[in-house]
Amino acid sequence: MRLGFACLWHKIPERTWSGTPWALRNALGRQTEVVSLGVEHSAARTLLKYAYVRRRRGSWATTYKWSGIYDRLTRKKLQSALDREAVDAVIEVGDLAQLEVPYYVYQDLSFDVLKRHYNPNTGIPGIRGIDLDTIRRRRERQLEIYGSAAGIFAMSEWFADTLVEWSGIPRDKVTVVYAGLNSIVPSTEDSVRLEEAGQREEAARLLFVGRDFFRKGGEIVVEALAHLRREYSPDIRLTVAGPEAWPLPGEIPEGVLFLGSRSATEVARLYRSHDLFVMPSHFEAFGIVFREALASGVPVIGRSAFAMPEIIEPGKNGALVKSDDPAELASAVVEVLENSSIREFTARTARDVRERFSWDAVAGRMVAAMGHLT
């Protein structure tokens, strides 16, 4: 099978969508012939960014990705690439365009999800510049692309259910392939992690990783740390990585180590040196970082929403919170830290997580779903 791979690449392709498309394309290339049909960063794209700058909710944002001009430019570039390269099928990372060859859409989120979570006062966390009219308009376009696609590859069971129940996509058209891991520790660390699982230190080390600090609930984690240092242990610490600069007003609080932006390799080392990963995200379509932490043998805490409950099993590999209350999060942290069975289970199953959610495994599911094309 000769497979076309279409993605709207960042100017540094490896950084696109936290490395996900880059890793997927490489994994697919190890299983079948892959031809890149990517829409590269270009001068026209840069011009459109500035042409579609709009002021929304007191700040400036560009809306070019939701414009008809950008849609036509994207489809034209994809069709031009297809005119040069004969392929059996195309995988689109996102709903890029309707194509004349069989194509599959790989996604973790839809405009039906955005519509249901849109707040007229705050919009959608982490998605600047979008309004309800745009969501409705893009939803109709997206449903047309879904309708003519050969299939949709969903990153989670939760998203697959929304496609069927909210978007009306036939169940047999949706395949859950999950997402792979971009930051993991070597398997040689497994035995060490398991040995340490039965131990608990008062100077516990919490980890938060996320460039979009507020969307991922970073402010709640910092407040929970203050609560924990008062009520649980004055020695408990928190490492924050992701944002370029400290995102909260004032000085960095006592007990917080702020590292700024870090590479995938550096994040992998951070998992290994911490006791608990904490990210009560307000809006998290999937959450690869949770599985990366689990693949490193580190328990996790997230929110009881979106795909997080299918990743996090309370009492087994972590805990879930239901509110923005820092006290609830602090209580969940104590519950996990003091439960040796959670630490032992997470350490013991780390290898299984790595194998099931490797990019090679994801690519294998895609290739199997397209098997009729070979």
Instruction: Record the pTM.
Output: 0.91
> Alpha-carbon distance 104 to 239, whole Å?
39
SS (H, E, C) 241-279: ECCCCCCCCCCCCCCEEEEECCCHHHHHHHHHCCCEEEC
Kindly report the backbone phi and psi dihedral angles of residue 6, in degrees, each rounded to the nearest multiple of 5, phi listed first: -115, 125
- Domain 2-180+358-373 adopts which CATH fold? Rossmann fold (3.40.50)
Here the tokens at position 374 are: 């070979």
Domain limits, the chain = 2-180+358-373, 187-356
Domain 2-180+358-373 matches domain 187-356 at the CATH topology level? yes
291: helix, strand or coil: helix
The distance from CA 255 to its chain's CA centroid, rounded to whole angstroms, is 28
Per-residue pLDDT of the chain (374 residues; tens, 9 = 90+): 999 999 998 888 888 888 899 999 999 999 999 999 977 767 777 787 778 777 766 677 788 888 899 999 999 999 999 999 999 999 999 999 999 999 999 999 999 999 999 999 888 988 888 899 999 999 999 999 999 999 999 999 999 999 999 999 999 999 999 999 987 665 555 555 555 655 555 589 999 999 999 999 999 999 999 999 999 999 999 999 999 999 999 999 999 999 999 988 899 999 989 999 999 999 998 899 999 999 999 999 999 999 999 999 999 999 999 999 999 999 999 999 999 999 999 999 999 999 999 999 999 999 999 987 65
> Alpha-carbon distance 333 to 338, whole Å?
9
- Domain 187-356 adopts which CATH fold? Rossmann fold (3.40.50)
